Structure 1
């Protein structure tokens, strides 16, 4: 029995590609292979010969999206918008090359369930996946086949083919090591597995990138820019040319290369700055956690902060976790034998809310961190307060408990709406039995100000994203 041929997929960098040399390589290639391109990034003068090469069967053309965005990130914000972008790029591909794309290649081969459903709904035959789980394709969604491809040659793990993605020398070396076939032909010739792997395999672990602390911050930074562009679009005064340039800058910001763990922050910051330039707003900063800073991490439905080194009192808050659970907002403060005062700024607008603290405290909040809600939790009970035009008013009692060094309480979701990852927080803890100084969730510098014993300081809220 003849062994099935492996597939060869070429992923060129359209900005760096020597198109004349690539055309010559296709003309002289001893084997058929697949090329994944986006029409938007393919120079118009190159489209005719690519169209002819695909029509003659020398190559198979598959679709990539401009800038190779990390699709699970786009789907966190709006699966519908991501699906619309996929359909628009497919239409541009069809207009440029005269054929439907044979398959699809996501940035990093990272696909979440929403992406797989969208690909199946739009009639794609196959999509690239990482290798290692299976050596043959499997059903990803509906009739969509996932084809396991190795980013290394020779494959170090079971795969149905390999990927050449580092330029024409890599393609030439791969072609010399053939024979090969196209990804579509390899998928059609294989008997697919009926059961998908327990988790989606991507290239270089891309399916896990959004879970690292550094990448969570980058993804929140991107989402904030996307939301700002959406507000600009719906404002009623968005000039069409500025909106188009802002949208293109946002697409560049979603590129998978920006979210690889260890990626330098400057390219992402530059792309996001271009978005804010078009909408006429200042860009927020994306600094790393400096020494003595609070560490912040984005959760699926909230945010978590880890305190900086500072005060050594036992009731010092080590961390704060705020996340939406079943409609309400669950708060966990890790602090031993502590009472807590949590001030919450929902809107981030200067002067909307109060800068004065409660329970007779003399410290104040910055104007930009003015709070609208406060939760006071102590041995005598817990309550939610809200500030309006006058003095703060008590809204309702809260359920609170102290378990294993954690203070846990729940805020009513009907009153606090939105994702906690966009809120600002000031957290002060004191000993549950009273009689001790307050400890702060904040930078080492701010903790020092609070404990210095001088004039009452002006304190800052902690947020997921820093602000310039």
Structure 2
């Protein structure tokens, strides 16, 4: 029997099944690829902190986290009970110091925290501004948090999940220890970054917008930040004013407008990358360390703390005396003592000096005589507030005025040459084109202005209003703290800065274009704004104006690093930031604002092509 037709049919069926299987496999691969792309898109949204149009109403659908930081010295506990009895569905986080909870209120607070509407977060005694208070005691934050955490557990029967530092000021080096203590979130200030993000070990950093007015007619404040804080202890609001603000927010906005910090974090989905610089609720640390009185107070505190540490390490210290001294230092480093207007209050100022005197007395050491005088007395500090730092030995001249700083390079300043020299005008040298004459910074409530002056600017070959052969970087350090900002200059610059001068922002100027970049941890800097420079070719000046919403804080306390280079002109538009050409020393960096010694180091050919920079600051000399 001829079975060829049957074999043919069987072959056709096998081929059909094979094609069907291949088609199904291809469809599965296509579906899998689509899901991967979708997941990546959503992940990218979380990673980069950008709102995706594919997630409608993401910010609108969530409640704001509400945090109250009361001053327990003025807290009306009966009024708080009455408020919560009337608004029994109110939901917020109450941050409190366990050691300051009255015994008669402890049981009520335990019941309150079990209601799920109220979350109790941890604070430490005095609410110190940790980045400023920990000088000489790097583990101050960890020590105090560990002690207060145990007291919290004794009262509430569980460990706290949230920690609130004084003024929302905390360093990454302190924050990274929090997860090991069971802390899952901590509070910082808001800036341009308004959403929570993950730090080390899945610790959530939650940015808060601080309420700064007791005028109930202005509330709730207009902000995109996902959380609000009512702070009575670090200078944002007067002590005792928070409950009225809390009552108004809850009663006027409804029970569903606000929630606890932990629930708020769950609703907004923290990003996996955050900003390099963590602002405080008052923008930066200068709020507590700006005026003459504040700087004097910190100097007096650190002097007393150093004396107590020396006694502790003496080998003959008494535990009882150390405890008394530490209790006095706790009172002295309270955040309220470093709010400028509080230091003008005779009672607060006197209490601060008495606390320091008690610390010395506890360790049987005579207190310095300067503690007998008001801090307002210029002689109390042992130093004069700098108004003018003369240029000696080839240093930068620094002029300090009420609303501006002027840095002037010393006579004899010079610059290196690029490897390929452009056609320069007769009698034009490298010092003319690449050595800054001065940097002037002026500010008001709306903007910060930067004016960079050189001996000459060559007219642009490409634009009507720009210049040629010059690329300028101006790095800005907002806080003078290690671990906050970037220590590397921009790509292809071959330079680095000291950790305490790590920069948060940099202005890059070339031809008729300027851009503002912000440092990002573990990633290239992000360009956040473009600026139209005002260029005066005749006088050799470049002026840039940056809105205050971009640069907050006090420019008088910032650090500045100004460098000059020659830009590459081939395919310039494709590079952001622009790239420099090599210099004859091996470094692309040609000129700078700095002492003659620093300039010689920059312009001398060395084995290493990398250069180190130190920020210029008001009151700093290069000796």
3-state SS of the aligned residue for 1:13?
coil
What's the counterpart of residue 405 of structure 2?
none
Q: Alpha carbons of 1:273 and 1:307: their partners in 2 closer, same or farther (altered >3 Å)? A: farther
Cα distance between partner residues in 2 of 1:308 and 1:282: 34
What's the counterpart of residue 333 of structure 2?
254
Q: How does 1:413-424 map onto structure 2 within 5 Å? A: none
Note if 1:278 corresponds to 2:362: yes
Q: Deviations over 1:418-465 (max 9, x none)?
A: xxxxxxxxxxxxxxxxxxxxxxxxxxxxxxxxxxxxxxxxxxxxxxxx
Cα distance between partner residues in 1 of 2:361 and 2:124: 24
Cα distance between partner residues in 1 of 2:389 and 2:189: 39
Note if 1:77 corresponds to 2:136: yes
Alpha-carbon distance, 1:159 to partner: 1.2
What's the counterpart of residue 118 of structure 1?
177
Alpha-carbon distance, 1:235 to partner: 3.6
Which residue of 130, 135, 148 maps to 1:89? Answer: 148
Which residue of 176, 189, 209 maps to 1:150? Answer: 209
Alpha-carbon distance, 1:185 to partner: 0.3
**Contact preservation (8 Å) 1:128, 1:148:** yes
**Contact preservation (8 Å) 1:217, 1:296:** no
Q: Alpha carbons of 1:198 and 1:239: their partners in 2 closer, same or farther (altered >3 Å)? A: closer
TM-score (norm 1): 0.61
**Contact preservation (8 Å) 2:162, 2:185:** yes
Which residue of 246, 250, 265 maps to 1:171? Answer: 246
What's the counterpart of residue 228 of structure 2?
162
Q: Alpha carbons of 1:54 and 1:268: their partners in 2 closer, same or farther (altered >3 Å)? A: same
Q: Alpha carbons of 1:316 and 1:149: their partners in 2 closer, same or farther (altered >3 Å)? A: closer
Cα distance between partner residues in 1 of 2:165 and 2:289: 19
Gap runs ≥5 in structure 1:
298-304, 322-333, 338-401, 409-468
Alpha-carbon distance, 1:76 to partner: 2.6
**Contact preservation (8 Å) 1:110, 1:129:** yes
Q: Alpha carbons of 1:291 and 1:272: their partners in 2 closer, same or farther (altered >3 Å)? A: closer
Cα distance between partner residues in 2 of 1:201 and 1:403: 31
Which residue of 46, 67, 85 maps to 1:27? Answer: 85
Cα distance between partner residues in 1 of 2:138 and 2:108: 35
Q: Alpha carbons of 1:235 and 1:198: their partners in 2 closer, same or farther (altered >3 Å)? A: closer
Cα distance between partner residues in 2 of 1:217 and 1:291: 10
Which residue of 365, 375, 378 maps to 1:290? Answer: 378
Cα distance between partner residues in 2 of 1:219 and 1:193: 36
Which residue of 299, 321, 327 maps to 1:220? Answer: 299
What's the counterpart of residue 181 of structure 1?
259
**Contact preservation (8 Å) 1:306, 1:320:** no
Alpha-carbon distance, 1:294 to partner: 7.5
Q: Alpha carbons of 1:182 and 1:319: their partners in 2 closer, same or farther (altered >3 Å)? A: same
3-state SS of the aligned residue for 1:76?
coil
Cα distance between partner residues in 1 of 2:103 and 2:298: 33
Alpha-carbon distance, 1:103 to partner: 0.5
What's the counterpart of residue 107 of structure 1?
166
Cα distance between partner residues in 1 of 2:393 and 2:63: 63
Cα distance between partner residues in 1 of 2:397 and 2:300: 20
Structure possessing the higher radius of gyration over alpha carbons: 2
**Contact preservation (8 Å) 2:207, 2:227:** yes
**Contact preservation (8 Å) 1:294, 1:308:** no
Note if 1:48 corresponds to 2:107: yes
Cα distance between partner residues in 2 of 1:21 and 1:283: 42
Q: Alpha carbons of 1:307 and 1:162: their partners in 2 closer, same or farther (altered >3 Å)? A: closer
Cα distance between partner residues in 2 of 1:291 and 1:94: 46
3-state SS of the aligned residue for 1:17?
coil
Cα distance between partner residues in 2 of 1:130 and 1:273: 34
**Contact preservation (8 Å) 2:186, 2:203:** yes
Cα distance between partner residues in 2 of 1:258 and 1:293: 16
Give the paired residue count.
323
Alpha-carbon distance, 1:27 to partner: 3.3
What's the counterpart of residue 399 of structure 1?
none
**Contact preservation (8 Å) 2:121, 2:164:** yes
Q: Alpha carbons of 1:405 and 1:87: their partners in 2 closer, same or farther (altered >3 Å)? A: closer
Alpha-carbon distance, 1:316 to partner: 12
Cα distance between partner residues in 1 of 2:139 and 2:157: 26
Alpha-carbon distance, 1:80 to partner: 2.3
Cα distance between partner residues in 1 of 2:91 and 2:156: 18
Aligned-CA RMSD value: 3.7
Alpha-carbon distance, 1:133 to partner: 2.6
TM-score (norm 2): 0.46
Alpha-carbon distance, 1:274 to partner: 1.9
Note if 1:141 corresponds to 2:203: no
**Contact preservation (8 Å) 1:134, 1:158:** no
Q: Deviations over 1:160-204 (max 9, x none)?
A: 121233332122112213331101100111121222223111112
Q: How does 1:350-361 map onto structure 2 within 5 Å? A: none
Note if 1:7 corresponds to 2:95: no
Q: Alpha carbons of 1:203 and 1:293: their partners in 2 closer, same or farther (altered >3 Å)? A: closer
Q: Alpha carbons of 1:279 and 1:59: their partners in 2 closer, same or farther (altered >3 Å)? A: same
Q: Alpha carbons of 1:292 and 1:171: their partners in 2 closer, same or farther (altered >3 Å)? A: closer
Alpha-carbon distance, 1:211 to partner: 5.4
Q: Deviations over 1:54-113 (max 9, x none)?
A: 112231010011111111123332222431221111111111122221301110000112
Cα distance between partner residues in 2 of 1:232 and 1:155: 49
